[in-house]
Amino acid sequence: MSLNRERFPFVVEGMPFIIPPAVITMIAGVWGKSYLLFPFLALTICMCSFFRNPRRRITDGAGLILSPADGTIVGVKKEAGGTTVSIFMSVFNCHVNRAPAAGTIKSIRYRRGMFLPANKGEASRQNEQNAFQLQTPEGLKVRFVQVAGIIARRIVCYMRKGDQVKRGGIVGAILFGSRVDVYLPPRVAVRVHEGERVKGGKSVLGMI
């Protein structure tokens, strides 16, 4: 039976970080070793918080482009070819990534790179990243890119070229602090501003 990532409470790839401190916490509790119990209990809580995968009620509505990640908008850059919206995910944010719209994954391109701080603009150009090209049933093309950061050293992708995704469906994750850039076509009216906090699958980035 395949794992339902929408319902599992944690990012699966985070379990190796959660289980060891949790086991040590239980053993320390049984043995009464408080000098181990409290530090490893705190570590377990931190790991569970970071790798959490909360259930989301996906925002519904015609023509909406949703945020693919939890975090803070660190850039809204308008150009002739459209608008780039950049979302920075700190270590305190949920790091599950979601599809901004329903459609077909037309391509996925992974590129090795540097690990500059993800809240800096040059991270979009120089850091390790994984780019999705999504086409909606209406023919709209939306590109969104998982970008690694100074602490993030692993990009997780659950999709393959040709996969169908629903709006707000889980497509991957980035382990420890990172960034997602969304490239919106000119026909999409942007509904966010720099400094705004957003939630993946809930916050509206733009509207067709």
Domain ranges of the chain: 12-50, 64-207
Q: Which residues contact 108 (CB under 8 A, 6 or more apart)?
A: 130, 131, 132, 133, 157, 159, 160, 161
Out of 154-158, 179-183, 190-194, which region has the weakest mean confidence (pLDDT)?
Answer: 154-158
Give the distance from CA 99 to its chain's centroid.
9
> In the beta sheet, which residues pair with residue 85?
76, 182
- pLDDT given at position 57: 92
Confidence of residue 5 (pLDDT cuts 50, 70, 90): confident
Out of 61-65, 149-153, 159-163, which region has the weakest mean confidence (pLDDT)?
Answer: 149-153
Residue 94 contacts residue 70 (beta carbons within 8 Å): yes
- pLDDT given at position 198: 96
194-204 pLDDT, tens per residue? Answer: 999 999 999 99
Average pLDDT over residues 94-109: 94
Exposed, middle or buried by CB within 10 Å (0-12, 13-18, 19+), for 208?
middle
CATH number of the domain located at residue range(s) 64-207 in this protein: 2.70.70.10
- pLDDT given at position 118: 64
Mean pLDDT, all residues of the chain: 89
- Per the document, the length of the chain is 208
30-68 pLDDT, tens per residue? Answer: 998 888 899 999 999 998 988 899 889 999 988 899 999
Place of tokens 């393959």: 160
- pLDDT given at position 83: 93
The amino acid that residue 150 corresponds to is I
The residue that leads in pLDDT, 176 or 142, is: 142
Positions marked catalytic: 178
What CA–CA distance (Å, rounded) separates 126 from 2? 35
